Amino acid sequence: MVKEEQELANRPDNTAFTQQRLPAWQPMLSAGIVIPGFVLIGLAFIGIGVALFVTSRSIQVLEFDYTGVDQNSPCFKCSDPKVLNCVCNLNFSIDSLFKGTVFFYYGLSNYYQNFRKYGVSKDDVQLSGDLTNFKTPSDTCSPYAYDSNNQPIVPCGSIANSMFNDAFKLYQIINGTNTLVPFDGKGIAWWTDYNIKYRNPSITPLKNAFNNTVKPIFWSKPAYELDTSDPANNGFINQNFLVWMRRAALPNFRKLYGRINEGDYAQGLPAGNYSLEIAYNYPVLSFDGRKKVVFSNVSWMGGKNEFLGIAYLVIGSMCVFMSIVMLIVYAKFKFPEEDGVPGH
């Protein structure tokens, strides 16, 4: 016995793994799975598609281009970059209640926030409140790291420098008088951005942290004076700044400016005439860009986007259609049993 064991010393182990006998599930694309599968997926997709489509249809959107390319457009006068501190009014009316909460967005087109060099042109360390990087901004910010006097720019980089600086005020015109419809600009940025990613240096007053630095070249006000009304909304955690810094994925994008959720307007914008007062500062015409404002409400699926609903419907129907085609093919060219496998 011992001898026998020794003789078989080199015998490989008899395990399912070494002998490649692991139990396994061997699925096959058989008609019994594929055709019903297609039908089920098709029906499910049509169902989802209908839901999405209906939801999307129920979302109200009001959109105005105020770039001022057209001579008749109210902001035409401001589109000349030489005109400074230009204000224009955009008047519009709403026929029926624009259900709330209404969100107010500004939108830019042909604007490449996703350009690589633009995108890297910021200093995350500086923006997280590290004072060392106030004095020596990262190289990635170049050419907006230092001004011509070699003073460090805070916040540095292209993104911050190009921050959108048009300002909007909405009035409802009731019997000829303008009633301000307040925009709630708080909490429009991501919680993580506001609380973790962007931090002001823990120095009070905030202004002192910015000693020996200069504001970004295009900015009219330094970072610590962005919102004079609310001291907590200044520096790197200014909500509009945060929204801007979250750069868009595509060249056409919109960004949240404020919510209309106060007072009479909490239920939405009632029917009537409105006037939007625009402080027109941001030049886009030089690169053929467009600016717009958007009023929109949201649903469980977010903002209005009909694509998903339609796509689901189309694909669902195609699945059903293909299942029929496959059924026909299967019935007609059914894998011939008698042919079988050669030799059997």
Residue 124 touches another protein, criterion: CB under 8 A: yes
Contact in structure between 255 and 106 (CB atoms under 8 Å) = yes
Q: Which of 341, 322, 295, 326 is nearest to 102 (CA)?
A: 295
Residue 215 touches another protein, criterion: CB under 8 A: no
CA atoms within 13 A on the CB side of 263: 7
- The CB-of-231 to another protein minimum distance in angstroms stands at 23
Rama region for 195: left / alpha / beta (φ>0; ψ in -120 to 50; rest): alpha
- The CB-of-65 to another protein minimum distance in angstroms stands at 14
Binding-site member from 303, 317, 320, 324 for another protein (CB under 8 A): 303
Binding-site member from 66, 201, 259, 291 for another protein (CB under 8 A): 259
User: Could you say which residues in the range 218-247 bind another protein, by CB under 8 A?
Assistant: 243, 246-247
Token digits of residue 34: 């594929």
- The CB-of-74 to another protein minimum distance in angstroms stands at 23
User: Could you say which residues in the range 145-204 bind another protein, by CB under 8 A?
Assistant: 158, 161-162, 188-193, 196-197
- The CB-of-239 to another protein minimum distance in angstroms stands at 11
Binding-site member from 89, 101, 179, 317 for another protein (CB under 8 A): 101
Start-to-end Cα distance in the chain = 45
The per-residue b/e assignment along 270-295, b for 16 or more CB within 10 angstroms, e otherwise, is eeeebbbebebbbebeeeebbbbbbb
Q: Helices marked H in 251-305 — which ranges?
A: none
Rounded Cα–Cα distance for residues 210 and 156 (Å): 12
Rounded Cα–Cα distance for residues 241 and 235 (Å): 9
- The CB-of-179 to another protein minimum distance in angstroms stands at 23
DSSP H or E run through 290 = strand 290-296
Residue 301 touches another protein, criterion: CB under 8 A: yes
Binding-site member from 60, 73, 89, 128 for another protein (CB under 8 A): 128
Evaluated on CA atoms 161, 164, 166, 172, the torsion sign reads negative
Q: Which of 282, 292, 287, 291 is nearest to 161 (CA)?
A: 282
Token digits of residue 304: 């209005």
Binding-site member from 11, 95, 150, 176 for another protein (CB under 8 A): 11
Q: Which stretch binds another protein (CB under 8 A): 88-96, 174-182, 227-235, 335-343?
A: 335-343
Size of the site for another protein (CB under 8 A): 106
Q: Which residue lies nearer to another protein by CB, 38 or 74?
A: 38
Q: Which residue lies nearer to another protein by CB, 271 or 298?
A: 298
User: Could you say which residues in the range 35-54 bind another protein, by CB under 8 A?
Assistant: 38, 41, 45, 48, 52
State whether residue 256 is helix, strand or coil. Answer: strand
- The CB-of-254 to another protein minimum distance in angstroms stands at 6
Residue 12 touches another protein, criterion: CB under 8 A: yes
Residue 283 touches another protein, criterion: CB under 8 A: yes
